[in-house]
Amino acid sequence: MTKNIRMIIAVVVVVIAAIIGLSSLFTGGGMISYVSFNEARAAGDNVQVMGEISGGSSSYESQTGTFVFYISNDTGDMMKVIYSGTKPGNFDQATSVVCIGRYRDDAFHADKLLVKCPSKYQDQIVDGSA
């Protein structure tokens, strides 16, 4: 009978795990969607925004321990980003950034940054005259 009880417990655990997995899949649990700057300003939950880094606009505020910079979208709209953490090492070489967090107090407060650097494998012009 002990073997049957173990089998029942194993089946119950598998069923519960399947229910949790399927419910999160269908309800979008754990997925954070990309939104426009205006949608980010209106959203109450965590979202992802992507923008081009505005050159020379970054600063590290040592009193608050935050990294502040501005991003712009394809229409030229600007948004202030506040990241509680240090400046990513490759930030100065980056062309764009994905910010994950939420908009509040007139700025996007990022929990995570995904820095997009230009590819070092871009096509290079080769001069054939030697």
| Right CATH for 37-116 from 3.90.1330.10, 3.30.70.1380, 2.40.50.140, 2.40.50.70 | 2.40.50.140
- Output the CA torsion sign for 35, 101, 93, 69: positive
What is the band of 122 on the pLDDT scale with cuts at 50, 70, 90?
very low
Q: How far apart, in Å, are the Cα atoms of 48 and each of 60, 66, 70, 97, 110? A: 22, 19, 15, 10, 9
Q: Is the pLDDT reported for residue 125 higher than 50? A: no
Structure-token pair, residue 37: 């700057």
What is the band of 129 on the pLDDT scale with cuts at 50, 70, 90?
very low
> Residue 29: helix, strand or coil by DSSP?
coil
Q: What is the DSSP string of 36-68?
A: -HHHHHH-SS-EEEEEEEPTT--EEETTTTEEE
Q: In this structure, what are the phi and psi dihedrals at residue 95, rounded to the nearest 5 degrees?
A: -105, -30
Q: Is the pLDDT reported for residue 109 higher than 70? A: yes
What is the band of 8 on the pLDDT scale with cuts at 50, 70, 90?
confident
Segments making up each domain of the chain, as ranges: 1-31, 37-116
34 DSSP β-pair partners: 48
Each residue's pLDDT tens digit, 23-62 = 655 544 556 778 889 898 998 788 999 999 887 778 888 8
